[in-house]
Amino acid sequence: MRQEQQNGRKLKFHILRFNPQIEGDKPKMVTYELTEALGMTVFIALNQIREQHDPSLQFDFVCRAGICGSCAMVINGKPDLACRTLTSKFPKGEITLLPLPAFELIGDLSVNTGKVMRAVSERIEGWIHDKNMGEIDLTKMEVTMDPDLADNIYELERCVECGCCLAACGTKRMRDDFLGAVGFMKVARFLMDTRDKRTEEDMYEIIGDDDGIFGCMSLMGCEDFCPKDLPHQHQIAYLRRKMVTVK
C-alpha cells in the first residue's frame, strides 16, 4: 500500500454540472466534500458523490482499470483517465473536474467520445486493406510476420481511444475538422502493418492536407497527455517526413 496517502483527509471536488437535455439548464461549478479513504481514486469518489450527494451526476466508467478509455476528463486542468487517478496525487485536496473538451457534451462529465472515434476510424479507413483477404484459406497456416514488427504494431495499437490527445491539442480545439493525433497514430499503425496493402500514396489521400498531417503544429499536447504513452511525437514526425516526400 502507498504510504503517503492521507487517510481521512477532507477532499473538495469542484465539478462542472450541466445537463443539455434539460431545457434552460446552465453550466455551473458545484462543490462536494468527501472524506478520503486509503487508495481512493476519482472513480471511487465520483461514485460516492453520486450515491450520497447527488444521484443525477453523470460520468462514464466501464473498466475502472485504465484499459477501456471511457473515463477521460479534465482533472485539475489535465486531461487524464479518472479511474486510475488516485486522489492522494493532489496534496491540497482540491480537485476540479471538467468534461473533456473537443467532444459533444452528454451531461456533466460525460462526453460522446465514441461517435468521434468511429468517425476517425471511418475517415482513415482503419482496417486492413487487402484485396485478396476473401480468398484466404483458414485451415492453412497463417502468413508469417516478423516478430519485432508484430511487437512494434502492438506498441501503436495500445491506444484506448480515450480522446485525451484531442482534448489536449490546441489545433483540434480551434479547428474541428483537424484529424488529430489518435488518427495519425492509427494511420501510422496501418502503414507499418505489412498485411495492409495500402501505400504511402494511399495514405496521402487520407492525411495529406491541412486537416491532416500538415495541420499539426507540433503542440505536443498529444504526446504529453496520452495516458498510454503512445509515441506521438515520433510517429507524427515520421508521417510528416513520409507524406512530404510522396510524389
How big is the CA angle at 46 (ends 41 and 47), to the nearest 5 degrees? 100
Q: Which stretch binds ligand F3S (CB under 6 A): 37-45, 48-56, 146-154, 214-222?
A: 214-222
Per-residue mark of binding to other proteins, 181-220 (x: CB under 8 A): ------------x-xx-------xx--xxx-x-x--xxxx
Sign, CA dihedral 30-33-38-44, equals negative
45 part of the interface to other proteins, by CB under 8 A: no
Count the Cβ atoms, other than its own, within 10 Å of residue 52: 10
CB 149 within 8 A of CB 182: no
Candidates 32, 66, 74, 165; binder of ligand FES (CB under 6 A) is 66
CB 124 within 8 A of CB 186: yes
75 part of the interface to ligand SF4, by CB under 6 A: no
Per-residue mark of binding to ligand FES, 24-63 (x: CB under 6 A): -------------------------------------xxx
SS3 130: coil
What gap in Å lies between CA 1 and CA 152, rounded to an integer? Answer: 34
Q: Min. distance of Cβ 207 from ligand SF4 in angstroms?
A: 15
Candidates 128, 136, 150, 217; binder of ligand F3S (CB under 6 A) is 217
Q: Min. distance of Cβ 50 from other proteins in angstroms?
A: 6
* Whole-number Cα distances in Å, 235 to 164, 231, 238, 245: 17, 6, 5, 16
161 part of the interface to ligand SF4, by CB under 6 A: yes
Encoded amino acid at 135, one letter: E
Residue holding cell 493525433?
181
Candidates 15, 34, 71, 191; binder of ligand FES (CB under 6 A) is 71
Question: Which residues, numbered 171-230, are part of the site for ligand SF4 (CB under 6 A)?
Answer: 181-182, 185, 226-228, 230
163 part of the interface to ligand FES, by CB under 6 A: no
The β-bridge relationship of strands 94-98 and 72-75 is antiparallel
Give the residues lining the site for ligand F3S (CB under 6 A).
168-169, 171, 180-181, 216-222, 232, 236
